[in-house]
Structure 1
Amino acid sequence: MRTRIYIVDDHALVRRGLAALISAESDMEVCGQAEDAATAINDVMKLRPDLVIVDISLKGNSGIELIKSIKAFDSNIQAIVVSMHDESIYALRVLKAGARAYVMKQEVTEKVLEAVRRIRKGHLYVSDNVASQMLNRLTGGGVPEDGSLVSGLSDRELEIASLIGNGVPTREIAARLHISIKTVETHRAHIKSKLNLRNATQLVQFCVRWVDENNAAATKAPASV
């Protein structure tokens, strides 16, 4: 039987590239796709795919929150994250959320099909760097610091920091994430505390710089789908 795969990415070209890659395989098929988390969760509940390929950055809720929702609905649906974001920050987070693989977008052509087949056999699929982090955690060594204070933020705080860094105002963040403005402000306060920032100006400056650094790193190796 073919593995039925659902694709979630907010870039149409990426979705088409992944769909073409998957459709060329005799043991896989694309059963649907979406650009946002709300559409995806509704479709997944109807279509019940074997596996979902998810980007972290989506319209509305993040890919991490989408994976949590999918696993809560049906723990048998497997998930692969394909993202341009730094794996040292995000890979362990998505595995904890329930994903079974993390593939950088610039490596997707070479690795996503292998990742699908590996996790369908019951294995994880991560880079050597992430595997080393996991081994360190299991042996009591903790996760090596990547030099970034954001590693101490929760998933929701990291999501809000990213939105702040992209210039999204508090009211719009609340609307996108379907939470209250007061809740956003609470998260902002926690982020400032964890990052040792004194005020809102320093918070915005930090988040903008962090987002810019991530974007610069991602553009060094463009996605190959």
Structure 2
Amino acid sequence: MKADLTRPKLHVFLVEDAAPVRRRIAEAFSAIADVSVVGEAEDALTALSAIATSGAHVAVVDLRLTEGSGIELVARLSHEQPSVVTVVLTNHVAAPFRAACQRAGADFFFDKTSEFDAACHTIEALVKERAHAAR
């Protein structure tokens, strides 16, 4: 089946400190129709500027980064780039982490181990939402 060139791509930026994990996430998300992974970073400062220049619609953020924290990054994105949808995908899933991410402005929060499929379904839903809005 040929790709529909008239459908807009959902641009996803990955922020994850572990390169092998980033690769696996990038592969999974890139396999979703009309998704393009437009960049990757392992620290908050690099991610913040790269998300702005990449044209990302979605930032997928882990809480543990090589420098800075995912919660701080989500808060800055919510304030400085509010049109970017923030998806937290992490192994740090205790209630205090979820609450802190919600306060910081995260749009979605998923356990990397047990809710990865749900995160993929959310990315698929965002693709459909974007395609519908483009009509």
User: Under a length normalisation based on structure 2, what TM-score does the superposition of the two structures give?
Assistant: 0.82
1:5 and 1:41 map into 2 onto residues whose CA distance is 13
* 1:150 matched residue in structure 2: none
Q: Is 1:72 the equivalent of 2:48?
A: no
Please name the residue that 1:153 is paired with: none
Does structure 2 retain, via aligned residues, the 8 Å contact 1:80–1:116?
no
Verify: 1:33 aligned to 2:37, yes or no: no
Alpha-carbon shift at residue 113 of structure 1 (Å): 1.1
Matched-pair contact (CA < 8 Å) for 1:10–1:36: yes
Identity %: 26
Alignment RMSD: 1.8
Residue 54 of structure 2: which of 47, 56, 74 is its match?
47
One of 6, 11, 14 as aligned partner of 1:4? 11
User: Is this contact kept in 2: 1:5–1:30, CA < 8 A?
Assistant: yes
1:15 paired with 2:44, answer: no
Aligned residues: 122
Instruction: Tell me the residue number matched to 1:113.
Output: 120
Rg larger in structure: 1
Query: How big is the shift at 1:35?
Result: 0.7
* Bigger RCO of structures 1 and 2 (CA < 8 A, at least 6 apart): 2
- Matched to 2:92, the amino acid is H
1:171-215 per-position Cα deviation (integer Å, ceiling 9, x unaligned): xxxxxxxxxxxxxxxxxxxxxxxxxxxxxxxxxxxxxxxxxxxxx
Letter in 1 for 2:54: L
Aligned to 1:107, what secondary structure does the other structure show? coil
TM-score (normalizing by structure 1): 0.51
CA distance in 2, matches of 1:115, 1:7: 15
- Residue 105 of structure 2 is aligned with which of 83, 98, 102? 98
Q: Which has the higher helix share?
A: 1
- Flag the structure with higher strand content: 2
- Note closer, same or farther for the CA distance 1:87–1:100 as it changes in structure 2 (3 Å cut): farther
For 2:24 and 2:85, locate their aligned partners in 1 and report how far apart those are by CA, in whole Å: 20
Give per-residue Cα distances to partners, 1:52-108, cap 9 Å, x unaligned: 000001122100101111122221101000111133121122122111111101125
How far off its partner does 1:109 sit? 3.7
The 3 A distance-change label for structure 1 pair 87 and 48 is: farther
The runs of 5 or more residues in structure 2 that have no matched partner are 1-7, 131-135
